[in-house]
Amino acid sequence: MKVFINKMIPEIGIKMLKEEGIQIIFSENENLSHEEWLKYCQNTDAILNVGGDFKYDKTFFDTCPNVKAIALYSVGFDHVDTKEASQRNIPIGNTPDVLSRATSDVAFLLMQSVARRTSYNFQKIKDGNWNTFDPLHALGQELYGKTLGIFGLGRIGFEMADKARKAFDMNIIYHNRSHNEQAERELGAIYVSFDELVKNSDVLSIHANFTPEHTNLFNHLVFEKMKPSSIFINTARGGFHHQKDLYNALVAGKIWGAGLDVTNPEPMSADDPILELSSVCILPHIGSATIEARNGMARLAAGNLIAFSKGEKMPHCANPEVYSNHS
């Protein structure tokens, strides 16, 4: 079996594939044009995909009929038309669980960084503006006993809520497609409507899987309903929020601060005015950027392809219905 990998992954994943006799094809450079990428994909049996630069849609599958399996080096699969893949009996692997802690760590970090305006204060030192003590300048806020609202209380959201509960005794409310009984039992989390989540959260953190209907869900209409003291956190996908609306809401004092590990667009422009605001902290999509998480992702992605090569089900499959299609 020939596998195309579009960007280098940790050695553990490469080693696993080689030990199973799987032939690996790497591109000569990692910044492929769409045409170059397609040429590699057309000459391979399976793909280990890193990043969201390319779409796996009907056009792709028509153009690359030899591709029989795709293993994503990610949890998210919003760049893949899983319905189209399933109709063609192509399993799509992903890497859940291994990055839940690392990603929730970043959400928790952003919450505190925004609350205490750390990016702004760090920049002040770099700019030589560490002036005399001013008891009223750019004050932050404390998080003790406040309400954390989670949009999408799955594995990552649970980790975030657990940290907030233990560190700051925060109250947890959440909105989901279904109830999370473990969170209700262990964290005292309370299920609320989307409208209640927006209105009652002191910190609102997004941890849901992104789908097209979520595009710009957090826009001016939603920011209008939030508390003027509230903090907005997004470590899921940039498409969830309308970035200009977010900027306007911050400037107008509709909300207090924002922490983003994902932006809209991504990458964002270095001269985006949102970067100048004192109660904003933005990171370049580093949620899973730990040695432990990235190694774990490599193991799961390789494991999915190895299982496929042996005619077995992928252990972590984003479209499990593919197996019932021809069972």
From residue 52, how far is each of 49, 267, 296 by CA, in Å? 8, 12, 19
Question: Given 36, 184, 196, 266, which residue is catalytic?
Answer: 266
| Ramachandran class of 18: left when φ > 0, alpha when ψ lies in -120 to 50, beta otherwise | alpha
237 is catalytic: yes
Encoded tokens for 91: 């399993």
266 is catalytic: yes
Q: How many CB atoms lie within 10 A of CB 139?
A: 9
d(CA 270, CA 247) in angstroms, rounded, equals 15
Please, what's the b/e burial string for 150-176 (b: 16 or more CB within 10 A of its CB; e: otherwise)? bbbbbbbbbbbbbbbbeebebbbbbbb
d(CA 21, CA 16) in angstroms, rounded, equals 9
Q: Are 148 and 203 in contact (CB under 8 A)?
A: yes
Q: Are 86 and 319 in contact (CB under 8 A)?
A: yes
Question: Given 165, 175, 285, 299, which residue is catalytic?
Answer: 285
What are the residues whose beta carbons fall under 8 Å from the beta carbon of 276, sequence distance 6 or more? none
What is the strand order of the sheet 46-49 is part of? 23-26, 2-5, 46-49, 69-72, 92-93
Q: How many CB atoms lie within 10 A of CB 119?
A: 20
Instruction: Look up residue 56 and give its DSSP letter.
Output: B
11 is catalytic: no
d(CA 327, CA 321) in angstroms, rounded, equals 10
Question: Given 237, 241, 299, 316, which residue is catalytic?
Answer: 237
Q: How many CB atoms lie within 10 A of CB 84?
A: 17
Return the bridge partners of 92, or none. Answer: 70
d(CA 40, CA 80) in angstroms, rounded, equals 18
- Active-site residue list: 237, 266, 285
